[in-house]
Amino acid sequence: MKRSGKESVKNILGQIPYTAELYWLVRQKAKPLQTQFNLKQLKANLPHLVKDVQTLREGVEKGKKVFLFATLHYWIEHVTLLGLSLAAQGHDVTVGFMPYANWQEEINRFDLRQQNLYALDVLKKAEEVIAVKSLMNERAFTEVDEKVMERIEQVSIYDTQYTVQDEDVDKDSPIFKMRMERNEIAARAALTWLFEGKPDVVVVPNGTIQELGIVYQMAHYLGIPVNTYEFGDQRQKIWLAQNDEIMRQETDDMWAVRKEQPIGKAQLERVQKLFGARQKGSLAENFTRLWQKTPAKGGQEARQQLGLDERPVVLLATNVLGDSLTLGRDLFTKSMESWIMRTVQYFNGRPDVQLVIRVHPGEVLTHGVSMEDVVHEVLPTLPEHIHLISSEEKVNTYDLMEAADVGLVYTTTVGLEMALNGLPVIVNASTHYRGRGFTHGPNSWVEYFKLLGKILESPADLRLTKEQVKLAWQYAYYWFFDFPRPFPWHLVRMWNDYKERPLLDVFSKEGMKQYGATFGYLIGEPMDWSQIETAG
């Protein structure tokens, strides 16, 4: 109650002009904010960053007018570092931001204004070489049309799914209403600045969710070139997309070229080594994620552990609900949940086949709807031929692949990995490896069940051909080693990376040879895959 009363007072004070500003000047400016919104590292590094930018851009021709946007303190830090890097190359850079500490909780107007003042105070040093714009201070469009509101609502739906980790969105829920309100504010402010600022290109992280997704959508709506970026689990690598959401991981252009470039023995051994490490639960090269915590014991032991017999085995691998790599990926299904429910119902009537459902191990870190609950909603008691492996069970997924005859996936990379082993795989949503020549991709429920029935008649006869397996390995190589582009500073360990690779090193002759093309792609230089050298 005390906190609620304090919040009420702050909300009232936040509506009164200059209260937050006076408090900041009198009491807060010399003190750190008592919130998650922390730009301490950026503040410490800005003096020498600005000095290096001034040195590097001497005599450099003027480039593009670039607008970068971020929210949340860690993205603001990264976007500022990126903006300074582009300024060092002669571009006219504006870094825009909204001063939120998180995306899922309400914040009173007083504290939000305090965070805004804090961010502006930190970033003022950067104004020697870039412009800084708080969209919170932007005079907003008063009217937006129906198409804009549709985009705001779609991003808000994604935000809600991402937050509550449930595909069914209640538009009367507090989280949806809060996201709609914040996203509409961001959309109106972004429209105003973009319309009046007229940048040549917009650069924004992620581009699918939260205010990041809103700025992407508003730039797209106005017809301004907009590029997005994100990070995977490789150090010194970045995912990027031009005029698209990077979380959709579109590989059409890359594959159109690389499909005609078979990999050699050394490349095959490199990607095989990567998957060998993933299978064993160890790290390879610059990858930072352990994909399995339980060492592989082999498919035969997995069969014995689950009590599998000689009937065909179908492995259904789930995603985590609400993962941003699943948002908006539905093709013929309403959701991943509905696909799993109907699939379980189908196999309930197929005792001639054994279904193994592998719940994503990442669910141990989530709080939303579990796929275990979805399965048990359909079948409270599982028949003997349906096996459910929870996220917490110490079972190696690669052992299950070895034991399986058929694979069913939504968007998980497990589908690609099963294809590498020659399994017929049905991919039921939009993901980067669907339609590449080594998986099946139905476009309707009728197609799905017809295809499933056909494969189950004789799985061995529908295993991938040698050429298809070869194609899968070829795709996997280019996906893991070519699609991510070289980049010096990963979001997760940005300042450690920066210490190892400061601006003067990155923009040296050797550094530009490694990273120069990526900086160009981020501001819209065409990604011509026929001219991009493949990884070694």
Regarding whether 260 and 178 lie in a shared domain, the answer is: no
* Domain membership flag for residue 528: no
Supply the CATH number for residue 340's domain: 3.40.50.2000
Task: Clarify whether residues 434 and 296 are in a common domain.
Answer: yes
Q: Are residues 165 and 287 in the same domain?
A: no
- Verify that 279 and 366 share a domain, yes or no: yes
pLDDT grade for 366, boundaries at 50, 70 and 90 = low
The two beta strands, 237-242 and 226-230, are antiparallel
In a domain, 120, yes or no: no
Say what percent of the chain tops pLDDT 90: 74
| pLDDT at residue 296, rounded to an integer | 63
Structure tokens at 69: 């946007």
158-168 mean pLDDT: 90
For the stretch 25-60, pLDDT in tens is 555 555 656 678 999 999 999 999 999 999 999 989
Cβ atoms of 144 and 88 within 8 Å: the answer is no
What pLDDT band is residue 290 in, cutting at 50, 70 and 90? very low
Q: Is the pLDDT of residue 234 over 80?
A: yes
Tens-place pLDDT, residues 314-346: 999 998 876 777 888 999 999 899 999 999 999
Placement of tokens 């600022």 in the chain? 197
- What is the DSSP-derived secondary structure letter of residue 206? S
Count helices and strands (H / E) in the chain: 20, 12
Distance CA 159, CA 175 (A): 9
Domain boundary among 481, 505, 526: 481
Q: Where does 216-318 show beta strands of DSSP type E?
A: 226-230, 237-242, 313-317
Q: How far apart are CA 230 and CA 406, in angstroms?
A: 32
User: 150 lies in which domain range?
Assistant: 138-199
**pLDDT, tens only, 387-427:** 999 888 888 888 899 999 999 999 999 999 999 999 999 99
Q: Which two tokens stand for residue 478?
A: 């280019």
- Would residue 16 count as lying in a domain? no
What residue type is assigned to position 89 of the chain? Q
For residues 319 and 412, state if they share a domain: yes
Q: What is the pLDDT of residue 397?
A: 87
Mean pLDDT over 174-202 rounds to: 95
pLDDT band at 1; cut points 50, 70, 90: very low
Q: Tell me: the pLDDT tens digits for 431-451? A: 999 999 999 999 999 999 999
Q: Is residue 381 part of a domain?
A: yes
Residue 205: DSSP 8-state: E
Nearest to 13 by CA among 23, 1, 27: 23
Same-domain check for residues 359 and 462? yes
Q: Domain count of the chain?
A: 2
Q: Is residue 171 one of the residues assigned to a domain?
A: yes
Among 481, 498, 515, which residue terminates a domain? 481
What is the residue-wise DSSP string for 323-337? -TTTTT--SSSS-HH
Which single residue is written with the structure tokens 């860690």? 74
> Does residue 118 lie within any of the structural domains?
no
pTM over 0.85: yes
Q: Are residues 299 and 420 in the same domain?
A: yes
What is the C-alpha end-to-end distance of the chain, expressed in Å?
Answer: 62
Q: Is 489 contained in some domain? A: no
Got the DSSP string for 392-420? TS---HHHHHHH-SEEEESS-THHHHHHH
Residue 123 lies in a domain: no
Tokens read off for 511: 């550094």
Collapsed DSSP state (helix, strand, coil) of residue 251 = coil
Residue 138 banded pLDDT, cuts 50, 70, 90: confident
In a 3-state reduction of DSSP, which class is residue 530? coil
Which class for 82: exposed (0-12), middle (13-18), buried (19 or more C-beta within 10 A)? Answer: buried
Do residue 377 and residue 282 come from a single domain? Answer: yes
User: Are the beta carbons of 165 and 369 closer than 8 angstroms?
Assistant: yes
| Boundary-marking domain end, from 460, 481, 502 | 481
With a cut of 90, say whether residue 11 has pLDDT above it: no
Name the pairing type of β-strands 65-71 and 131-134.
Answer: unpaired
Mean pLDDT of the chain: 89
